[in-house]
């Protein structure tokens, strides 16, 4: 099964960015990795890499092959399961998550691993936009992320998991009794507008015609809340499902509405329809749903 080995090495090179780095990943020498990639190119009758620089950059043919290689490797792992094992909790699966989900997801996966030792789950943390791209390209089998405004491609499946309302968070002694008053009277600590959550916050502020005193912009919800604790300003973020901010005596959570309705962000699981591990990702999703609450 030399082609399977070559494809494993090909995927490792694409993920690691060089033959040398991939060599450590697949337990080969750099020369052996280079030889395998030459053999793969000869077998497929086309070049897969741009070798003009010091890093291994996939060319157009290589980029086209990558998701196909991942699907073939996933199918091969399915074939290696014991007879009747298509539904067994075994084999490799790659799952991503945004920061606010990763803690709970890690506990879920740890419990599954204890129950099913043959299960190999690789976790990847990233932003929603990046996770969606990795699922679509085949680098991840599934990811827990913030729902976007665009409909997923037909090759992907989106399953909502839970919702979190947007709230204004102010320090206990800061001015302003309502979200509108607090935002007008304090420096505004904004979540990164280039991210889905930040774009949702911006739309909510505009719809509600809320005036803000721009101060700084970060891409970490917890960092923003900590700055509020230190009385730096006020922020608008999702009320994280597992956070206990309402018990923090240094904080005030102020309801936020736009057009008379609460604004929520939806988190769910995005997965490829053909990844061959649907029973595993469904078990992970179901356990996360029980943890975070429906």
The pLDDT tens digits of the residues spanning 46-60 come to: 999 988 777 778 899
Is the overall model pTM greater than 0.85, yes or no? Answer: no
Q: Domains along the chain?
A: 1-80 (1.10.10.10), 163-265 (3.40.190.290)
Whole-number pLDDT of residue 131: 95
* Angle, helices 128-137/196-207, rounded to nearest 10 degrees: 130
Q: Is the pLDDT of residue 85 over 60?
A: no
Most confident of 147-161, 164-178, 253-267: 164-178
Q: Is the pLDDT of residue 84 over 50?
A: no
H-assigned helices in 18-149: 19-26, 30-44, 60-79, 99-115, 128-137
Q: Is the pLDDT of residue 148 over 80?
A: yes
For residue 59, what are the contacts with CB-CB under 8 A and spacing of at least 6? 47, 48, 49, 50
Report DSSP state, residue 43.
H
């Amino acid at each position: 099964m030399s082609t399977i080995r070559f494809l494993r090495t090909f995927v490792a090179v694409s993920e690691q960015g060089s033959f040398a780095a991939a060599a450590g990943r697949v337990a080969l020498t750099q020369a052996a990795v280079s030889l395998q990639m030459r053999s793969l190119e000869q077998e497929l009758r086309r070049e897969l890499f741009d070798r003009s620089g010091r890093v291994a950059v996939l060319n157009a043919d290589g980029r086209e092959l990558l998701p196909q290689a991942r699907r073939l490797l996933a199918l091969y792992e399915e074939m290696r399961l014991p007879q009747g094992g298509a539904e067994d909790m075994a084999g490799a699966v790659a799952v991503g998550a945004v920061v606010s989900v990763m803690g709970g997801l890690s506990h879920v996966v740890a419990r599954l691993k204890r129950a099913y030792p043959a299960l190999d789950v690789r976790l990847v943390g990233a932003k929603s936009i990046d996770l969606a791209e990795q699922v679509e390209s085949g680098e991840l089998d599934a990811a827990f992320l913030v729902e976007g405004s665009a409909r997923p491609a037909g090759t992907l499946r989106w399953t909502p998991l839970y919702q979190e309302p947007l709230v204004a968070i102010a320090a206990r002694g800061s001015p302003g009794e309502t979200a509108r008053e607090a935002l007008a009277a304090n420096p505004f600590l904004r979540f990164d507008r280039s991210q889905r959550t930040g774009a949702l916050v911006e739309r909510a502020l505009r719809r509600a015609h809320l005036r803000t005193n721009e101060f700084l912009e970060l891409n970490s919800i917890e960092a923003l809340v900590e700055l509020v604790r230190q009385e730096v300003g006020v922020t608008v973020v999702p009320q994280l499902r597992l956070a206990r901010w309402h018990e923090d005596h240094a904080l005030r959570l102020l309801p936020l509405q736009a057009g008379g309705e609460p604004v929520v962000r939806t988190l769910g699981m995005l997965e490829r329809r053909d990844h061959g591990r649907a029973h595993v990702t469904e078990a992970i999703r179901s356990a996360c749903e029980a943890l975070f609450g429906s």
